[in-house]
């Protein structure tokens, strides 16, 4: 993600504005714009004030140490325990009997854990870990489905000051092995299996393959979830339920340091070797709990649901740590949105009376494709606030979400952030910020973001450029595990000797100072010297009534430098019409090109439009444009190990080469 282009040309304009509703404003946790000025005038004072909402064993003596950039220390010498803040302190209040976690499994099994029950389980499991030799500083790998034991395991690690490294259950044995070895984890917690669309994901089987090549692993703890027979290796493998029966009930919290490592989370880099993003304790908890409280306008009686898997940063920060630090009720769902039917999410919202719902644009575009009829069969009136994260949301999907899920009454917080930032960085505050569909709006109070050209000069309003963060923030990554140099090179070396964090994303700031994320700069297209963002052309395509989802890429072109190739999935009824002969493929391709020209201009006209049943995506749902470039340019496919489903790209490639678009 080298910074090697000037600025990004931005052409697409979205002008609709949605103002916060008076009643929402009146009840909002934050409804006074002064918060922005306060945070700007005294940023450290602002974060220190937020930190007062947590319980510290010992107060910090300095808010921020930035003497040795880019290595930041927050709440220096503060002593704090993440598990204590997420669990124990609530047990001392009326939240004792409040549900902390509402769990729904894919088969429909439901389990609720109050704060008190959660504490009981976590203490026991912390004792189990101790019994297996885990102590402060030891890394623990976790490879589990979305079940309560996953939350219990991570909180138990936090209780002991043993950093966890969670590997998403959809990863292969090789990926698991590489992550375990990089962190030299001592223990692995897994399950026999997890449910995925009625089938079993063979987690223990995968774990066995991985652990065979992991010399650091001493023991494996296995939760019984799916119940099928799995081999257990004597002296290495233990059943969770058997260990729990024997474990002592009481376990104190370690008085960990604010800068002790809370977890490592691996994220795919541009090279094959995954990067272990390191997050520490005090600053991370301050960043995640503050943003959760303010952006999701957390209220005591909320039923809060973030649909992300805990294996991703969104799950760490906004299923577990942020909400639980605030004493929220957080919902965990094991399954898929289309199993057994395409209304599973709406069914869950209706039954559990979910009030705040946070999901990804890739899911919203799938809901659009499946049609309004699914949400229409459910009472979604409990909802009061919606959120999105993970990719730019095209205005069309935003409006669909707003109307069909939010019933036109719920603000949408479009939250921009990264594994590395740990906490939300750009987002509306729902009681303050007028919303523009497709814009993540403005930086959170206390966050200093700028849009710059490759020399580091701020670009004028209305222009696009590189998204940089100019000052440290509490939940920022501290390093790449075991590789400080890579940390420096990757994030901090793009603008000479200035210690600015470069996020890898392009962004446009409009005349109201609103931020429009243009996507990864590696995905930028250059047509006849105009730098276009893939996201804008995709947005224009999805704006057409026939289109469900689109991915565009730049394909080498002898005259223009690059030409735009569009890969488009159509709405279900449109496929039907094509099959019936009521719609002509060629005509539709022409119409889509014309639509882009109308929305953006002739410069953005796609050279070709290719219809495909599915787009290649990462396991967390982000479109992998790099592979589409390989297909369009007739190359062998590059690294496909992060794909959710390799069959999608193989099929797409075969069709593309057979030109049966
Ligand atoms: C939280 C998460 C980070 C990348 C980031 C962006 C993209 C995330 C938004 C977004 C536009 C958003 N962490 N991204 N949120 N783009 N609008 N609201 O997704 O590390 O997995 O990905 O995701 O490109 O750099 S992540």
- 439 and 555 inside one domain: no
Using a 6 Å cutoff on CB, does residue 29 contact ligand 1?
no
> According to the model, what pLDDT value does residue 8 have?
65
Q: Measured in angstroms, how far is the CA atom of residue 568 from the centroid of ligand 1?
A: 22
- Beta pairing, strands 187-191 & 219-223: parallel
Q: Do 413 and 555 share a domain, yes or no?
A: no
**Residue 313 in contact with ligand 1 by CB distance below 6 A:** yes
Burial class (CB in 10 A: 0-12, 13-18, 19+), 416: buried
β-bridge partners, 331: 102, 305
Does the Cβ of 443 fall within 6 Å of ligand 1?
no
Q: What is the pLDDT of residues 630-644, one digit of tens each?
A: 999 999 998 888 888
**Backbone dihedral region of 493: left (phi > 0), alpha (psi from -120 to 50 degrees) or beta?**
alpha
> Is residue 388 one of the residues assigned to a domain?
yes
Cα(276) to ligand 1 centroid in Å equals 17
Q: Which helix (H) or strand (E) holds 286?
A: helix 282-295
Backbone angles phi, psi at 119, to 5 degrees: -60, -45
Nearest to 264 by CA among 422, 481, 483, 73: 481
pLDDT at 545: 93
In a domain, 153, yes or no: yes
Task: Name the nearest CA neighbour of 403 among 429, 422, 383, 424.
Answer: 383
Instruction: Render the burial of 603-630: b for 16+ CB within 10 Å, e for the rest.
Output: bbbbbbbbbbeebbbbbbbbbbbbbbbb
Give the domain CATH number at 378: 3.40.50.12780
From the CA of 517, give the closest atom in ligand 1: 11
Residues 285 and 417 in one domain: yes
CA dihedral 376, 377, 381, 386 (to 10 degrees): -60
Last residue of a domain, one of 409, 427, 455: 455
Mean of pLDDT values over 541-547: 93
Query: How far, in Å, is the centroid of ligand 1 from the Cα of 418?
Result: 5
Cα(386)–Cα(390) distance, integer angstroms: 14
Q: Which pLDDT score is estimated for 574?
A: 93
Cβ of residue 524 lying under 6 Å from some atom of ligand 1:
no
Over residues 541-569, mean pLDDT = 91
pLDDT at 271 over 80: no
Distance 395 CA to ligand 1 centre (A): 17
Q: pLDDT of 152-193, one tens digit each?
A: 999 999 999 999 999 999 888 988 999 999 999 999 999 999
Going from the Cα of 122 to the center of ligand 1, the distance in angstroms, rounded, reads: 31
Of 76, 165, 77, 79, which Cα lies nearest the Cα of 472?
76
Residue 575 lies in a domain: yes
In this structure, are 216 and 338 located in the same domain? yes
User: For position 340, what pLDDT does the model report?
Assistant: 97
| Percent of the chain scoring above 90 in pLDDT | 85
In-domain check, residue 280: yes
622 Cα nearest atom in ligand 1:
23
> Are 35 and 157 part of one and the same domain?
yes
**pLDDT at residue 455 is higher than 80:** yes
**Is residue 6 predicted with pLDDT exceeding 80?**
no
In a domain, 640, yes or no: yes
Query: How many other C-beta atoms lie within 10 A of the C-beta of residue 445?
Result: 22
Q: Is residue 418 lining ligand 1, measured as CB closer than 6 Å?
A: yes
174 C-alpha vs ligand 1 centroid, how far in Å? 25
Cβ of residue 517 lying under 6 Å from some atom of ligand 1: yes
CATH code: domain of residue 629: 3.30.300.30
| Pairwise CA distance, residues 196 & 207, whole Å | 17
Distance CA 557, CA 564 (A): 9
Residue 5 has a pLDDT of 46
Q: Residues 586-611: what's their mean pLDDT?
A: 92
Residues 222-255 have pLDDT tens digits of 999 999 999 999 999 999 999 999 999 999 999 9
Same domain, 261 and 364: yes
Q: Which of 418, 437, 626 has most ligand 1 atoms within 8 Å of CB, for mutation?
A: 418
Span 81-112, pLDDT tens digits: 999 999 999 999 999 999 999 999 999 999 99
Considering only CA atoms, which of 419, 413, 421, 516 is closest in space to residue 459?
Answer: 516
CA 159 to chain centre: 24
pLDDT at position 7: 61
Q: How confident is the model at residue 12 (pLDDT cuts 50, 70, 90)?
A: low
Q: Is the pLDDT of residue 316 over 60?
A: yes
> What atom in ligand 1 is closest to the CA of residue 519?
24
Is 269 within a domain?
yes
For residues 106 and 345, give the distance between their C-alpha atoms in angstroms, rounded to a whole number.
11
Number of domains in the chain: 2
pLDDT at 1 exceeding the cut of 50: no
Give the model's pLDDT for residue 405.
Answer: 98
Burial label for 8, CB within 10 Å (0-12, 13-18, 19+), is buried
Instruction: Tell me if 40 is assigned to some domain.
Output: yes
Q: Please say whether the beta carbons of 318 and 288 come within 8 A.
A: yes
Could you tell me the CA-to-CA distances from 454 to 3, 288, 504, 534 in Å, in that order?
Answer: 6, 31, 12, 19
> Does the pLDDT value for residue 661 go beyond 60?
no
Q: Do residue 451 and residue 529 come from a single domain?
A: no
Residues 235, 115, single domain; the answer is yes
Which has more pLDDT, 601 or 443? 443
DSSP label at 169?
T
Does residue 448 sit in the same domain as residue 528?
Answer: no
Top mutation candidate among 365, 490, 516, 517 for ligand 1, by most atoms within 8 Å of CB:
517
| Choice between 92 and 1, residue whose per-residue pLDDT is larger | 92
Query: By the 8 A CB rule, do 79 and 282 touch?
Result: no
Mean pLDDT for the chain overall: 94
Residues ≥6 apart with Cβ < 8 Å to 156: 83, 122, 123, 125, 126, 128, 129
Would residue 361 be called left, alpha or beta, if left means φ above 0 and alpha means ψ between -120 and 50 degrees? Answer: alpha
Query: 439, 455, 471 — which closes off a domain?
Result: 455
Q: Which pLDDT score is estimated for 2?
A: 41
Helices (H), 572-617: 572-580, 585-599
CA-to-CA separations, 286 to 57, 86, 291, 573, in angstroms, rounded: 15, 12, 8, 47
CA gap 27, 22 in Å, rounded? 9
449 and 539 housed in the same domain: no
Domain shared by 404 and 528, yes or no: no
Residue 18 and residue 401: Cα distance in Å, rounded? 13
Note down the domain range covering 423.
22-63+72-455
How many Cα neighbours within 13 Å face the side chain of 204?
A: 24
Q: Calculate the CA dihedral of residues 631, 632, 638, 642 and round it to 10 degrees.
A: -70
Q: Is residue 43 classed as helix, strand or coil in its secondary structure?
A: helix
C-alpha 298/C-alpha 327 separation (Å) is 9
pLDDT at residue 322 tops 60? yes
Can you spell out the DSSP letters for 359-411? E-HHHHHHHHHH-THHHHTS--TT--EEEE-SSPPPHHHHHHHHHHTTTTTS-
Residue 53 lies in a domain: yes
The domain boundary residue, chosen from 422, 438, 455: 455
CA-nearest residue, atom 8 of ligand 1:
390
Residue 126 has pLDDT above 70, yes or no: yes
Q: 163-183: buried (b, 16+ CB within 10 Å) or exposed (e) per residue?
A: bbbbbbbbbebebbbbbbbbb
For ligand 1, atom 12, the nearest C-alpha belongs to 416
48, pLDDT greater than 50: yes
- This prediction's pTM: 0.91
Q: Are residues 349 and 222 in the same domain?
A: yes
Residue 87, CA distances (Å) to 27, 309, 426 in order? 26, 20, 28
């Amino acid at each position: 993600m080298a910074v090697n282009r000037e600025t990004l040309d931005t052409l697409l304009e979205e002008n609709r504005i949605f103002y916060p509703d008076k009643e929402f404003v009146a009840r909002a946790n934050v409804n006074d714009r002064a918060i922005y000025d306060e945070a700007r005038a005294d940023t450290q004072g602002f974060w220190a004030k937020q930190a007062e909402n947590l319980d510290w064993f010992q107060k910090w003596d300095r808010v921020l140490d930035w003497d040795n950039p880019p290595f930041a220390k927050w709440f220096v010498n503060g002593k704090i325990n993440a598990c204590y803040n997420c669990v124990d302190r609530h047990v001392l209040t009326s939240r004792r009997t409040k549900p902390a976690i509402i769990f729904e499994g894919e088969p429909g099994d439901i389990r609720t854990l109050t704060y008190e029950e959660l504490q009981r389980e976590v203490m026991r499991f912390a004792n189990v870990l101790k019994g297996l030799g885990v102590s402060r500083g030891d890394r623990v790998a976790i490879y589990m489905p979305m079940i309560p034991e996953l939350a219990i395991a991570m909180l138990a690690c936090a209780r002991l000051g043993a950093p966890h490294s969670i590997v998403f259950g959809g990863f292969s044995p090789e990926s698991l092995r590489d992550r375990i070895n990089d962190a030299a984890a001592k223990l692995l917690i897994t399950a026999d299996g997890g449910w995925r669309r009625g089938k079993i994901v063979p987690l223990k089987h995968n774990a066995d393959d991985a652990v065979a090549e992991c010399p650091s692993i001493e023991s494996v703890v296995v939760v019984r979830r799916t119940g099928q027979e799995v081999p257990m290796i004597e002296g290495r493998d233990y059943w969770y339920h058997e260990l729990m029966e024997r474990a002592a009930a009481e376990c104190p919290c370690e008085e960990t340091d604010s800068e002790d490592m809370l977890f490592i989370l691996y994220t795919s880099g541009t090279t094959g070797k995954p990067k272990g993003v390191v997050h520490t304790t005090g600053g991370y908890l301050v960043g995640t709990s503050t943003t959760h409280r303010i952006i999701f306008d957390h209220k005591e009686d909320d039923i809060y649901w973030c649909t992300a898997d805990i294996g991703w940063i969104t799950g760490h920060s906004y299923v577990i740590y942020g909400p639980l630090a605030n004493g929220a009720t957080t919902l965990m769902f094991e399954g898929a949105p289309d199993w057994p039917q395409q209304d599973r999410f709406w069914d869950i919202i209706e039954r559990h009376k979910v009030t705040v719902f946070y999901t990804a644009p890739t899911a919203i575009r799938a809901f659009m494709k499946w049609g309004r009829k699914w949400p229409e069969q459910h009472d979604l009136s409990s909802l009061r606030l919606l959120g999105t994260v993970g990719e730019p949301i095209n205005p069309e999907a935003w409006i669909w979400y707003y109307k069909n899920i939010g019933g036109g009454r719920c603000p949408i917080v479009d939250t921009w952030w990264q594994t590395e930032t740990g906490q939300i960085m750009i987002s509306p505050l729902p009681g303050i910020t007028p919303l523009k569909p497709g814009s993540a709006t403005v930086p959170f109070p206390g966050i200093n973001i700028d849009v710059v050209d490759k020399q580091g000069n701020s670009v004028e309003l209305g222009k696009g450029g590189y998204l940089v963060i100019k000052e440290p923030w509490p939940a920022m990554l501290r390093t790449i595990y075991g590789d400080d140099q890579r940390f420096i090179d990757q994030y901090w070396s793009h603008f000479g000797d200035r210690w600015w964090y470069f996020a890898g994303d392009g962004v446009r700031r409009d005349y109201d100072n609103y931020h429009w994320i243009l996507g990864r700069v590696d995905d930028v297209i250059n047509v006849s010297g105009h730098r276009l963002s893939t996201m804008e052309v995709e947005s224009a395509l999805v704006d057409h009534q026939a289109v469900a989802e689109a991915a565009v890429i730049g394909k080498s072109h002898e005259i223009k430098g690059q030409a735009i190739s569009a890969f488009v999935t159509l709405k279900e009824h449109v496929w039907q019409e094509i099959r019936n002969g009521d719609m002509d493929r060629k005509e539709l391709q022409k119409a889509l090109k014309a639509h882009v020209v109308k929305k953006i201009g002739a410069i953005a006209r796609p050279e070709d439009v290719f219809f495909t049943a599915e787009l290649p995506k990462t396991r967390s749902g982000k479109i992998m444009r790099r592979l589409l470039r390989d297909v369009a340019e007739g190359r062998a496919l590059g690294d496909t190990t992060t794909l959710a489903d390799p069959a999608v790209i193989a099929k797409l490639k075969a069709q593309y080469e057979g030109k049966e678009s």
